[in-house]
Amino acid sequence: MDSWRLRWHKLTHWEYWPLWAIYYPLFPVWLYYSIKARSFFFFNAANPTMKNGGMAMESKMDIYNMIPNEHIPETLFVAKDEAPELALERILNKGIGFPFIAKPDIGMKAFGVEKVNNKEEFQKYFQRSPENFLVQELIPFNKEMGIFYVRRPDEVRGRITGIVSKQFLSVMGDGKSSVLHLIKKDARSHFQLKALRKKFGESLNKVLASGEEFILVPYGSHTRGAKFIDDTHRINKELTDIIDGICSKIEGFHYGRLDVLYNSFAELTEGKNFSVIEINGAGGEATHIYDPRHSIFFAWKEITRHWGYLNEISIMNHKMGHSYLSFRDGRAMLKANGQLEAQLKLI
């Protein structure tokens, strides 16, 4: 696509707008909830056992340690000051073989998440990583879903408030076009071209056979090109039972999104063949809003609805003795989060 067409596409499709353009118009709503809670950073009390309520700057390893082991991938913490050779030896001894997933311990928006195929790629990732990171076994399931969960402190059972299915960024061969040409034909993949050139190099000149699918980014991150589909209509009792059964075992967890890899929806609702690859707390978005079929007004309605849940839960937990974040500490968190985001974009 031509550069002007890309710019027009981004302007006319709100899912590509910068976060400030989506969220700043809702500042009066956040201010209203802040007045209700008597704290601008009330979210700290939503999930008392998570740092900052899971809004930002929380350790992913700390959260994995809260989740029942049978529901998560084998995960290993790697300190930045550790010798790469010793770290790799620990990883292999843990039974995590190549390829595996590496990602920052404190991260966001899938920045710095990479599939590592061999020793050389691991050493390069180690060198580029600015902070501690995690290594996870590669889960073989090729479907990913984000499931938003809410449970008030006075409720025994929680509920699902939104589901998003994630289509990994890919191209489909036609027997004559190069991968590069196929990427440029679609705005969603073209927006990722710079990162894809860096990742694949000359391999982008390969011509795919007709009907051959090539996955460009093997994880469901909207910032990395995945297409999000609103599947909230698929909420049912069976899935709610499975998700509530997991979340009820996580101490102090009341609000957030679970990202799940699974084999089939039927098996997922039976509690079979799935893995929770991440849990986002107060900072987790109800990402079904990013379905291209939805308008910005739908997104604003859903964001406001979920902020209402967040506010209600935080106030209830605060009355039970859990603290809000001070304005000073909240500002420091936001500053640190901005600095970290700038670093992670360079990985």
pLDDT tens-digit profile, the chain (347 residues): 789 999 999 999 999 999 999 999 999 999 999 999 999 999 999 999 999 999 999 999 999 999 999 999 999 999 999 999 999 999 999 999 999 999 999 988 888 999 999 999 999 999 999 899 999 999 999 899 999 999 999 999 999 999 999 999 999 999 999 999 999 999 999 999 999 999 999 999 999 999 999 999 988 999 999 999 999 999 999 999 999 999 999 999 999 999 999 999 999 999 999 999 999 999 999 999 999 999 999 999 999 999 999 999 999 999 999 999 999 999 999 999 999 888 888 77
3-state secondary structure at position 229: strand
3-state secondary structure at position 78: strand
Nearest to 225 by CA among 345, 60, 110: 110
3-state secondary structure at position 116: strand
pLDDT of 343? 87
Q: Report CA 120 to chain centroid distance, whole Å.
A: 27
What's the Cα-to-Cα distance from 199 to each of 121, 175, 179, 261, rounded to whole Å? 11, 23, 13, 23
pLDDT of 345? 80
pLDDT digits (tens, 9 = 90+) for 265-281: 999 999 999 999 999 99
> What is the C-alpha to C-alpha distance for residues 116 and 99, in angstroms, rounded to an integer?
5
Residue 132 in contact with residue 78, Cβ under 8 Å? yes
- Give the number of other CB atoms < 10 A from CB of residue 323: 11
- All structural domains of the chain: 18-73+140-167+226-342 (no CATH), 74-138 (3.30.1490.20), 170-217 (no CATH)
Sheet holding 274-280, edge to edge: 227-230, 159-167, 143-150, 255-262, 274-280
* C-alpha triplet 281, 321, 40: angle, nearest 5°: 55
- pTM for the whole thing? 0.95
> What is the C-alpha to C-alpha distance for residues 32 and 307, in angstroms, rounded to an integer?
11
